[in-house]
Each structure stands twice: as structure tokens, then as C-alpha cells.
Amino acid sequence: MKIVKIFGSVLLLVVVVASLAFAQGKFSYTSGFMVQNLESTDANISITYYNPDGSVDASATDTIPASSSKNYFPIGSSDGFDGSVVISSDRQVGAVVNVLSTDYNESASYLGASNSATTVQLPLLMKGNSGYDTWFNIQNTGSSTTNVTVNYSDGLTATATIAAGASASFYQANESHTDKVFSAIVTSDSQPIAATVLEEDPSVMFAYSGLTSGSTTPVMPLINANNAGYITGVQILNGGSSSTDVTVSYTPSDAGTACTETQTIPAGQSATFALYAFADSGAQSNTTTTCVANERFVGSAKVTGNSTNQPLTSIVNQLKPGVNGEAYVAFDPASATDTVMLPLIMDRNSGFFTGFNVMNVGSSATVNCTFTNSSVTVSHTLNTDEAFTEIQNGAIADGYVGSATCTATSGGKLLAVVNELKTSSVDNLLVYEGISK
């Protein structure tokens, strides 16, 4: 899910950053980001930090060696930076943004590479949902001031005027929603925009990037259910004009039984998949499923039925209740390529390690993964819509921090999700989407 806008010979990567000391969220925040050079030639980058009024807080330049990555933490010119970031480069780059509470007890991650457009969809928003609220930033990625309108699925609206490069924040806890789960579609009257959503309760933080387009068959490379306490909820938004019957097919990669789940989603509304299909109590009353209640499942999922072919967007939440959680954006299979880049990979880095799922949505292929500054390799053969799981804890080197590249043989098309985890009693789970090259 990379976004690249071309201005002459410069590639522009938009990073919408939730940063320090937001007074209305549940925490005080700090942020950092990892930028990966996706090409075999050195990348010259420029980083600009924007305040909410559009003024520049700070700027910097740097060079990232070919096929390497660099970490930028903390961000901005001083403590208290509250804003957004734009990274421009003369080569194709990707970025992963990590958002943490200032006591480092809560954390979330998102890919700073979502396509900017005049319409952005937010499939999952909450107010008072079992203690969870959401808030989001909308960034103006264009060259002049724009007016944005937020149309919530419960009928409420909100507006803001945003200067070029700047962002505006919307806090659902302060809006007059009835306590529930809902969604939103954000529109700009002239300039392209991008968005980041944070989901929070007092001890857990999730983050995801807004989506600028839908797919009739979105895919989810990683689904956990009843797995060491982890569960998964898949929120699917029907961004079309007609109601549609949606079927999600679940395919195990490490544990579980292949199964399906079907629900009807009205136009402009969203529905929750996976969470109840694998739960003790089984499916919701409005759901048809063949999934086994309370079964351990680790694998992937794909929308295989969409009765009226409506455009769908989707967010996947992984949660260990009361401990940690994180979200990622489901993929349009048409965006898959034979190469997927994973900008941040860790093995026992101050207790953090990564694990990733790679899914093949193309023809049967062998997938080979390499890691920067390491001779370690990973190889799997995948049929269509199959995925594999790899854990880096103890697999590369103690203290390893780097990146990975996975490539498929002819006909393979890859998508990936990466989990960053530190085993602890606080929220140290972060998740991001792999970048198709």
C-alpha cells in the first residue's frame, strides 16, 4: 500500500504522523519512523515537519543507501511537536511509523504510504465501545488550503479547513455519537488528503491508515483466533451504492480449519467478521459460517463473495484483551507484485522481535526472502491464496535491526503483514503492511 505522487523527477511519500502531547487522546505520545530505500541506488530524501497551521516546524535532508533503511526518532524540532510529516525522495522509498505513549507502555504502527486522494474511507471508528474510542488526523497533501467534510455512517458530520501540508484532528469521544462502532467517509473539496486513525482504551493502542480506494475482493494476509490469547476482528466497509452479501474465506497457514463466513452489508455501512465466527459463542445471528467456534486459527483470509460487486475497504484488528493490540489495512489483490518490502525487521532488539505473514494471490510460486546485512534466507512454495508464517525471534542475530525483501518466482503476486512484538504485560504489539515494489 505505497503512495507515490510524482512531481517532476521527485517521488513524494506522505507520512501522517500522530505525535507528541495530544491533550484529547488517552495518552501523551511520541513518534518515530523508519524509511526504507526500495531501489538499488542511494536515495536522497528531504523531511519536512508541518505544524497544524501549515507552518514548518523543522526540515532535514539525508541519504539512505541502496536497499537500506534509517530510523528517525524522536521527530520534530523540540518536545511537544504536534503535526504531520512529508518525506520527498529522488528514489522510491517507503516508511513505517511507530506511535508510542511517552511512558512506552502503549504502542501502535502504520504504513506511512497510503495513496492520497480527495476521498478517504475509515472503516472502523468507535466511541465508548467496551472502553475504546478513536481519533484521527486528516492531512492535506496538496499545494493549497482545502476544506474537508467527514460523513459518519451514523449520520453525523464534521468539517475542517486545512492548510497545505498540515493536518486536523477529530476526536470521536468529544463528538455526539451514540456509544457504538461506526465508520466514515472523508471528502476534500479540492486537494488530495491522507488519514491515520488511532483506536485506544486506557491500556491498548491501535493505528491504521485511511483507504483511498476499495476492492471487490480485499485480502487479509494474517488472521489470528484463539492463538495464545489473541483474537482478530475484520471490519469491512461497503463504500458502494447498493447492499451486498459478502463472503470471507479463511485459509489456515499454521493452525485451524478452512472455513467461510457470510454477512449482508448495506451501502455505506460496515460489518464485523472473524471476531464472532471463531468465538466461544459462535457466529452472530445475522451471519452464516462454517468456522469452528473456539478453534485455534492462524492463517489468512480473502473476500470470495460480493453479490453486487460493491467496492469494499477493510481494517483488521488483532487483540490480546487487556494486554495489547494493533491494526492493519486489508489489501486490494490488484496491488500485489512479485516483490514485497518489509522496512523494519527485528530479532531480540531490546526484547522486540518481528514475525510476518506473506500471502500469494497470484499463480503457484516459490517465495524467497532475504534480510539486509544477514546471510539468513527463507523459502516457501505457495499455491494461490496460500500464506506462510515466519518468526524472527532467535532466527537472525541477537540485537538485529534491518529490513527484508521477499520475491516470488514467475506468476507469484505477494502481499505481507509484519508484527512487531515484545513479550510483556503492556501493549508492545505493532503491525504494518508490506510495501509492494
Q: Exposed/middle/buried for 276, CB within 10 Å: 0-12, 13-18, 19+?
A: buried
**CA–CA–CA angle 352, 353, 359 (5° rounding):** 145
Report how far Cα 153 is from the mean position of its chain's Cα atoms.
21
Cα–Cα dist 417/357, whole Å:
5
Residues 6 or more apart in contact with residue 331 via CB below 8 angstroms: 1, 215, 218, 219, 220, 221, 415, 433
Q: What is the pLDDT of residue 25?
A: 64
- The pTM assigned to this predicted structure is 0.86
Average pLDDT over residues 41-69: 89
Cα–Cα dist 278/289, whole Å:
9
DSSP 3-state of 355: strand
Q: What is the pLDDT of residue 320?
A: 87
Instruction: Compute, in degrees rounded to 10, the torsion defined by CA atoms 313, 385, 308, 330.
Output: 0
Cα–Cα dist 40/273, whole Å:
40
Q: What is the pLDDT of residue 281?
A: 63
Which backbone phi and psi does 243 adopt, to 5 degrees? -65, 150
The number of helix segments (H) and strand segments (E) in the chain equals 0, 35
Average pLDDT over residues 5-9: 25
The reply to whether omega before 74 is within 30° of 0 (cis) is yes
Higher pLDDT, 111 or 241: 241
Q: What is the pLDDT of residue 23?
A: 44
Q: Would you say residue 81 has pLDDT above 90?
A: no
Average pLDDT over residues 42-70: 89
What confidence category does residue 2 fall into, taking pLDDT thresholds of 50, 70 and 90? very low
Cα–Cα dist 274/250, whole Å:
9
Average pLDDT over residues 383-393: 93
Q: What's 122-149 look like in SS3?
A: EEEEEECECCEEEEEEEEECCCCCEEEE
The listed CATH number (2.60.290, 1.10.3470, 1.10.760, 1.10.220) that belongs to domain 119-209: 2.60.290
Lowest-pLDDT choice from 90-94, 114-118, 181-185, 265-269: 114-118
- pLDDT, one tens digit per residue, over 359-372 is 999 999 999 999 99
Q: Where do we find the cell 485455534?
A: 296
Identity at 430, one-letter amino acid code: L
β pairing state of 133-140 and 193-200: antiparallel
Q: Would you say residue 213 has pLDDT above 80?
A: yes
Higher pLDDT, 17 or 273: 273
Cα–Cα dist 92/39, whole Å:
6
The hierarchical CATH code for the domain 336-436 is 2.60.290
Q: Would you say residue 12 has pLDDT above 60?
A: no
Q: What is the pLDDT of residue 113?
A: 57
Cα–Cα dist 346/350, whole Å:
10
Q: What is the pLDDT of residue 16?
A: 47
Average pLDDT over residues 198-217: 91
What confidence category does residue 6 fall into, taking pLDDT thresholds of 50, 70 and 90? very low
DSSP 3-state of 173: helix
Identity at 74, one-letter amino acid code: P
Q: Would you say residue 380 has pLDDT above 90?
A: yes
Q: What is the pLDDT of residue 95?
A: 84
Average pLDDT over residues 333-338: 95
Q: Where do we find the cell 494461490?
A: 384
Residues 6 or more apart in contact with residue 393 via CB below 8 angstroms: 347, 348, 353, 355
Nearest to 194 by CA among 328, 51, 15: 15
- The order of strands in the sheet holding 107-111 is 69-72, 29-37, 93-101, 107-111
Higher pLDDT, 424 or 205: 205
Cell of residue 302, nine digits: 480473502
What confidence category does residue 29 fall into, taking pLDDT thresholds of 50, 70 and 90? confident
Strand partners, 74: none
Q: Would you say residue 79 has pLDDT above 90?
A: no
DSSP 3-state of 319: strand
Look over the chain and give the mean of its residue pLDDT values, rounded to a whole number: 87
Nearest to 324 by CA among 419, 207, 203: 203
Strand partners, 252: 299
Instruction: Tally Cβ neighbours within 10 Å of residue 334.
Output: 11
DSSP 3-state of 184: strand
What confidence category does residue 283 fall into, taking pLDDT thresholds of 50, 70 and 90? low
Nearest to 234 by CA among 248, 244, 213: 248
Q: What is the pLDDT of residue 282?
A: 58
Higher pLDDT, 403 or 369: 369
The hierarchical CATH code for the domain 219-333 is 2.60.290
Q: What is the pLDDT of residue 192?
A: 92
Q: Does domain 5-111 have CATH number 2.60.290.11?
A: yes
Q: Would you say residue 20 has pLDDT above 70?
A: no
Residues 6 or more apart in contact with residue 363 via CB below 8 angstroms: 384, 410, 411, 412, 413
Question: What percent of the chain clears pLDDT 90, i.e. is strictly above it?
Answer: 57
Higher pLDDT, 303 or 56: 303
Q: Would you say residue 27 has pLDDT above 90?
A: no
Cell of residue 235, nine digits: 471490519
